Chain A
Amino acid sequence: MSKINLLKPNRENINLFLALGVLFFSLGIIDFYLNNFYEKNITGFLPGFISFFTPLIFGMIGLHFIRIEFSGIKKLDELNKNINTSNFNAALSFCIILLLIFSIPPLLNWFIFDANIAGDTKEACTGGGACWVYIKVWFNRFMYGMYPNAEQWRVNATFIIVLVLMGLGYFFPLRFKKYLTLYYVIFLPIISFLLIYYLISGGEFGLEWVETGAWGGLSLTFIVSFFSLIFCFPIGMMLALGRRSDLPVVKYSSLTFIEFWRGVPLITVLFMSAVMFPMFLPDGTYVDKLIRVIAAIVLFEAAYTAEVIRGGLQALPRGQYDAAKSLGMGYWRLHLLVILPQALKLVIPGIANTFLALVKDTPLIFVVGLLELAGMLGLAKTNPKWLGFSMEGYVFAGIIFWIICYSMSKYSYNLELKYKTDR
């Protein structure tokens, strides 16, 4: 046994240092735990300022003791390499561990252990945690808005059919692959529009008519983002081509259009579609609120899409243009067959980000009085029978939006990897 130097933990006395380190580390954790959850300060005899920092001091001493280079224990070496390389690093790691201890138990309690889910009145919520009864009771409203309960199968049916049609593209036989773009850009939107017009809106074929004001909840979020996505893409592409055109009038009008929409917030655009746009139409014409909103979002997002696509166009080397021209291709053939397929591949992440932003912007349509998920929450929260559950509502909506957006971003990441071609 060699001499023990407490400042320099070494391999010879590894057992002693490990024991000391674990002891101090757990002392720090226990001190913190008792302090926060049982309001007992075991180091209370020290002056206030020092006793406040004791958990951190203990933890750092503990981590210092187990920081033994080449200890010979694989797990310990890995641990040291990952969270414990220096005193500074150890302090940060320990702070994060404390933060986790501080936040996870109360959160779990609120979410699961103290929460209520049985029953269907406000009185069923007795625990101190979340009241999921509220979500359960209002679930239909959050999904379908004011859409009549008996007719909700129509919304479901429409979404299922559209999803199936979207998935159909995967099973196209190889012979028809070249029509895939045509199918997605032209046929699918038309079919979806007809479905929404005849099935969700109704009024014909013996289906009861449901006005757009009654649509709402998450289904409205999907409808608005679906149509905005479909329309903003071709318009954005035209604008991007227009901005790179040699013709001055085309170029500067595209430029002005793009810069205008990019310079104003979406909320003012929606205001415009709500209050200013009717003034621009002949007296007596009425355009449905939902259509106005979708048009506003399409114009707004098309400008952003255009800029993203322009980035892809600029990234292509000149040689591609020259080669295509030397084959005698005209403007449209050159762009459709050579330039755009390559450029679009480059901008998949950017486009995906724009689409994500679009989905995240849909709650803004509350400005014109359309209530999608966030709007319905606002309505439910003011219901006198269910006061005081805004937290549950927003957490619920947050989780749903998070799942949608996170899966979209992961999907776009996979798409990016799939289409990545080395140049």
Chain B
Amino acid sequence: MKLKKILPQFLTLLFIVLIFGFFTMNAQENMDTRGIEFGFGFLKQEASFDIQFSLIDYDGSKSYARAYLVGLLNTLLVSAIGIVLCTILGVVIGVARLSPNYLINRTASFYIEFFRNIPLLLQIFFWYFAALRALPMPEDASLLLGTSYMTIKGLYTPAPIWNNFDVFLISLIISLVIIFFFNRYAKRKQEEAGIQYPKFLISLGIFIIIPALTFVFGGVDLQWSFPELKQLAKTSFTYEGGVGIPPELIALTLALTLYTATFIAENVRAGIQGIGKGQKEAAASIGLTPGQVLKLVIMPQALRIIIPPTTNQYLNLTKNSSLAAAIAYPDLVLVFAGTAMMQTGRAIEIVAITMATYLTISLSISVFMNWYNKSIAIKEK
């Protein structure tokens, strides 16, 4: 009986140790023959390559560690934008999918069936190589909404120029803290005395008024710098001032959003459909208004069904953003596992760092979501 328990475990362990041992030994030997030494010292060396699009200060004289950071930030940027947009689109499409209106219903299900059955990479290629290439050159672009230019070289929008931005930021934090305490107070009042405050309106008011006050008293000032056409050479034009969003980022965000939104829409639909009809009827019969039914009865229950699979989709989106390498958006994979590896030749270290980074992002999102999930789970007595 004892043997029956120990033997499989021992064999598993032996198998793992043998495989790892074999790999490490070979790696050691291979690196010895090529004269490479394992280590992360190369991170401090000068990177000496340029990156097209960077959120932080970067040029060729910075270190590989800095290049890694640029790549990581670009990955996080596209993931964050994608997550926000695909949530909005996914919820809208998911609700539309349940609409009694035939046209809306059909359009939503057409959208879902269409976009989820085409490989993401193909969609990225389509937007980048086919759709965005059809845009005009900078000199021919026309104004969009009076402020921006959509060209083959990207989207140029006005950039905000702040004075005393830190004061504004602090006021934002203060208003969030006040909202937090106000909501706690309102909840206690409701539980103790049954008094209901218009929580949402008051919170919104606080969120707008306090930061707005800093413009009057805090010396905060906001100006916009608009993009203007500038001639570089006879036939080469570009825009100066404003923010230039590269077409790679636009194509990637579009594809990721449209693709992931289909899955989130299905989650939302399943979540709302998963709530029994009896819940709705019971809530209506105790005199709640339709809005209250949705807010207090349906949504809290539906969210429990929606959140776990949606978290998975967020993770997928973050991981899928690595497809950026295919269209040369300088994300982690392209900058670090691509260019930096070509230059240093340190395959093992760089692939290991890249994988560890993605693992960390994945695990931390899932830990956070597990915590959130637990906090909204049904508390059974």
Contacts and interface: CB of A to CB of B under 8 A. Distances in A.
Interface string A113-133: 000000000000000000000
Contacts of B33: 283
A155 B121 CA distance: 26
B23 A267 contact: no
Contacts of A7: none
A356 B107 CA distance: 23
A264 B359 contact: yes
B321 to A, nearest CB: 8
Interface on chain A toward B: helix, strand, loop, or mixed SS?
Answer: helix
Contacts, number: 147
Contacts of A265: 319-320, 322, 333, 358
B130 A391 contact: yes
A231 interface: no
Interface in B98-148: 100-104, 107, 113-114, 116-123, 125-126, 129-131, 133-134
Which interface residue of A250, A271, A282, A395 has the most chain B CB atoms within 10 A? Answer: A271
Nearest to A393: B130
A212 interface: no
A264 B119 contact: no
Q: How large, as a class, is the contact surface on chain B?
A: 35 or more
A381 B104 CA distance: 37
A71 interface: no
A283 to B, nearest CB: 6
B13 interface: yes
Interface string B352-381: 001100110011000000000000000000
A405 B8 CA distance: 40
Contacts of A170: none
Contacts of B29: 282-283
B31 interface: yes
Which interface residue of B27, B101, B116, B363 has the most chain A CB atoms within 10 A? Answer: B101
B362 A82 contact: no
B333 A271 contact: yes
Nearest to B116: A405
B347 interface: yes
20 contacts: A92-B104, A93-B104, A253-B16, A262-B362, A263-B363, A264-B319, A265-B358, A267-B322, A267-B323, A267-B325, A268-B354, A268-B355, A271-B337, A275-B351, A276-B348, A366-B121, A374-B119, A390-B125, A394-B129, A398-B126
Interface of B: 5, 8-9, 12-13, 16, 22-23, 26-27, 29-31, 33, 100-104, 107, 113-114, 116-123, 125-126, 129-131, 133-134, 319-320, 322-323, 325-326, 333, 337, 341, 347-348, 351, 354-355, 358-359, 362-363
Q: Which 10 A-B pairs have the closest CB atoms?
A: A405-B117, A265-B319, A249-B9, A263-B362, A82-B102, A263-B359, A265-B322, A280-B23, A391-B130, A360-B119
Interface of A: 82-83, 85, 89, 92-93, 96-97, 99, 246-250, 253, 259-260, 262-268, 271-272, 275-276, 279-283, 356, 359-364, 366-367, 374, 377-378, 381, 390-391, 394-395, 397-398, 401-402, 405-406, 409
